[in-house]
């Protein structure tokens, strides 16, 4: 077997990757000893008692980690692209209840297998052509911890290096064509953050294997907050400018908020969607005490109507703001017939009630009650006088149960007295007065 790596030859001879000590005293000697397997696991802080927890083992192979998690009391699902006889042999010998799912990582979704307190992702990443997509799948399946072990091209001494990844078109890595990529450690950690994990902790790097703990939960807020909770002023889809997201698309949310904590960075801002943290892709000032945080939206699971809140490193959490994933199509809004009412109209620049000043572009803000949870700007119609005003933005519900609708005054409209009417589905608001003036602003 010239040219075949020695470990591949040994694996072929033994037929087992994992070793096992069975209850009847039999010893199965695989390529990796039981001591080595235990050492791999001990590089992570996994409780000895996992009763009441769900664990997913992706790329389970012969199943040593799956059966060890079950031994600790967890309900376990094991997944791999091949159902090996070795796995079933041990499962039978242990009278195990571990569920096996024949699947690659890309097909594992919360809708198919549920979500898990702990996800094991050992020795899989570098075998994949789409490593970041795989980590996003792992992220969506995890409610607490994902434990990632992967080949890396460097060691901890190079942690400050820029993120880079080698791509292996053929058999450049260990003589195997199914080894597709080799990230350096910085790249692996960046992948974990980009997937959305709130907390990333690098453990040991042993023989070019990095051990990373990825958490979905933020640390507890400080017992004594130094700053007031942030105030969310807007939540929009980066692509569409409204708080509605499509689960079929890689969506990012822009969260606008005010905070009295200065000099915020990505490490200081902690968004949380439906109780699970998401690492911000960007944090930037937006003027005064205003900030913008952009973060990935996890499209899986849950209801259409969802919420986000955030805190800073020196504060407790803000009040939640709502958004919608997979809202009904526009044709479905025709059934809506609930009462809606305009509660206020103002110039978006001066905030003067019931009047706007003509300019090269004049913007009008309208506050409306009664609009449903799945409201989007494409389904709202605003008429000023006998003309349609272009809808720019529809906000989530505020604490007064109102939505702010920002529109552009039609360019053809001159000074005068007008009425504003908002329609949605079969419902329309009573007319609300608006004056359009040309006098200079005071």
Instruction: Give the CATH number, domain containing residue 180.
Output: 3.40.50.150
Quick check: is 226 in a domain? Answer: no
| Percent of the chain residues topping a pLDDT of 70 | 92
The secondary structure of 212-262 as a DSSP string is EEEESSPPPPPSS-SSPPPEEEEEEETTTSSSEE-TTS--EEEEEEE-S--
* Residues 21 and 164 both lie in one domain: yes
* Residues 389 and 311 both lie in one domain: no
Average pLDDT for 418-434: 94
Reply yes or no on whether the pLDDT at 26 is more than 80. Answer: yes
Q: What dihedral angle (degrees, nearest 10) is formed by the CA atoms of 381, 382, 386, 387?
A: -90
Could you tell me if 147 and 120 are in contact, meaning their C-beta atoms sit under 8 angstroms apart? yes
Instruction: Give the CATH number, domain containing residue 308.
Output: 2.60.40.10
Entry pTM: 0.77
* Residues 410 and 316 both lie in one domain: no
Quick check: is 420 in a domain? Answer: yes
Q: In the structure encoding, which two tokens stand for residue 200, read together?
A: 């990333």
Reply yes or no on whether the pLDDT at 216 is more than 90. Answer: yes
Instruction: Give the count of domains, the chain.
Output: 3
What is residue 331's predicted lDDT score, i.e. its pLDDT?
45
| Percent of the chain residues topping a pLDDT of 90 | 66
Out of 327, 354, 378, a domain closes at 327
Domain interval for residue 290: 231-327
Quick check: is 224 in a domain? Answer: no
* Residues 245 and 275 both lie in one domain: yes
Out of 271, 298, 327, a domain closes at 327
Out of 327, 348, 378, a domain closes at 327
* Residues 318 and 358 both lie in one domain: no
């Amino acid at each position: 077997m010239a040219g075949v790596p020695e470990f591949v030859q040994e694996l072929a001879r033994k037929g087992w990757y994992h070793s096992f000590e069975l209850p009847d005293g039999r010893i199965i000697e695989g390529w990796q000893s039981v001591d080595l397997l235990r050492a791999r696991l001990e590089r992570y802080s996994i409780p000895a008692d996992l009763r009441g927890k769900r664990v997913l083992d992706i790329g389970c192979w012969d199943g040593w980690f799956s059966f060890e998690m079950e031994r600790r009391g967890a309900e376990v699902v094991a997944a791999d692209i091949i159902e090996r006889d070795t796995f079933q042999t041990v499962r039978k010998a242990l009278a195990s209840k571990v569920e096996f799912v024949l699947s690659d990582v890309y097909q594992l979704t919360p809708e198919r297998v549920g979500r898990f307190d702990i996800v094991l992702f050992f020795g899989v990443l570098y075998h994949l052509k789409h490593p970041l997509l795989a980590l996003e799948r792992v992220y969506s399946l995890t409610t607490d911890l994902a434990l990632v072990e992967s080949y890396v091209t460097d060691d901890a001494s190079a942690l400050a290096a820029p993120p880079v990844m080698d791509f292996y078109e053929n058999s450049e890595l260990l003589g195997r064509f199914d080894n597709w990529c080799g990230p350096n450690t910085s790249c692996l950690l960046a992948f974990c953050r980009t997937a959305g994990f709130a907390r990333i902790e690098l453990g040991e790097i042993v023989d070019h294997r990095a051990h990373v703990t990825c958490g979905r939960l933020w640390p507890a807020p400080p017992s004594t907050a130094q700053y007031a909770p942030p105030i969310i002023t807007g939540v929009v889809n980066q692509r569409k400018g409204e708080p509605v997201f499509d689960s079929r698309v890689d969506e990012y949310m822009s969260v606008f908020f005010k905070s009295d904590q200065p000099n915020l960075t990505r490490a200081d801002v902690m968004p949380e969607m439906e109780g699970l943290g998401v690492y911000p892709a960007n944090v930037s000032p937006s003027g005064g005490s205003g900030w913008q945080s952009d973060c990935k939206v996890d499209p899986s699971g849950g209801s259409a109507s969802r919420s986000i809140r955030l805190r800073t490193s020196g504060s407790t959490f803000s009040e939640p703001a709502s958004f919608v994933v997979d809202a009904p199509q526009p044709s479905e809004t025709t059934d809506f017939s609930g009462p809606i009412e305009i509660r206020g109209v103002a110039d978006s620049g001066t905030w003067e009630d019931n009047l706007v000043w003509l300019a090269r572009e004049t913007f009008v803000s309208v506050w409306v009650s009664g609009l449903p949870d799945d409201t989007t700007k494409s389904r709202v119609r605003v008429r000023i006088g006998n003309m349609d005003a272009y809808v720019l933005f529809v906000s989530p519900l505020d604490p007064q149960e109102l939505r702010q609708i920002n529109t552009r005054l039609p360019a053809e409209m001159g000074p005068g007295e007008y009425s504003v009417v908002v329609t949605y589905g079969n419902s329309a608001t009573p007319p609300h007065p608006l004056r359009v003036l040309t006098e200079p602003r005071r």
